[in-house]
Amino acid sequence: MCGRFVSSSPPDEIARYFDAEPPAEAALEPNWNVAPTSDVYVVLVDGGVRRLATHHWGLVPFWAKSPAVGNKMINARAEGLADKGAFKHAFRKRRCILPADGFYEWQKRPGQKAKQPYFVHRVDDEPLAFAGLWEEWRAPDAEGGGRLRSATIITTEANETMAAIHDRMPVVLPPSAWDAWLDPDDADLDVLGRLLVPAPPRILTMHPVGAEVGNVRNTGPHLVDAVEPAAPTLALDERAGRPADP
């Protein structure tokens, strides 16, 4: 899955990188610890124009009774996407890219209760282009108001780089796929589905970071600084005071 990422680049730079119009909304603050339910940048085609816009992270389907549904929709698994009720409509018509400067993933450590967080980013430090879906939700009791635009990040199986710490990763689209993915008139779901594959292992690198990133109140560039990973500890058999059987 992808539950935290970094969005620290200025919106004008992001828009230029993705050849998109800059956002009409006020710029978001740089954030090195973007968490679910935050506002995030998305690249989408709106009115025939590629734009950078601000959406809520956590997809709220148009049929939802409450926006709280989005709290569980921060990620969408690529497998079977065209058939899943929460995502199939957006997959057909409302695809987007979520730009990121990197993301975090947590690795289970033998003998330790706490997981080790890692920061994952491109080896060339270019932005990542997460494949995403977006929706517009309207409050049932609102007349002409109560609208919410939201988005989710599509995940797939881990590549060789990511498999060392987790079995899933965000889909990272290459520039050659952006036009097709963002085109709302492209209805060839078989071809689009073939874009939702693990990124080439060579484009990503990662390093362990401090446990501070686990608290959503913490933000700042220091969160991506490399640290020495926590050393593994032996689990003890409390009755005998010896290492427990594996």
Residues involved in catalysis: 2, 105
**Distance of alpha carbon 34 from alpha carbon 63, whole angstroms:** 26
- Residue 184 and residue 135: Cα distance in Å, rounded? 13
Under DSSP, the state recorded for 38 is: S
Report the DSSP beta bridge partners of residue 31: 7
* Phi, psi for residue 152 in degrees, rounded to 5: -135, 155
- Beta-strand runs (E) in 160-232: 168-170, 204-208
Burial letters 23-43, b for 16+ CB under 10 A, else e: beeeebeebbbbbbebbbbbb
Beta-strand (E) ranges in the chain? 5-7, 31-34, 39-46, 49-57, 75-77, 95-100, 102-107, 116-122, 128-138, 147-157, 168-170, 204-208, 236-237, 242-243
Report whether 246 contacts 111 (CB < 8 A): no
Q: How far is it, in rounded angstroms, from Cα 203 to Cα 148?
A: 34
Closest CA to 95 of 68, 146, 129: 129
C-alpha–C-alpha distance, residues 8 and 13, integer Å: 10
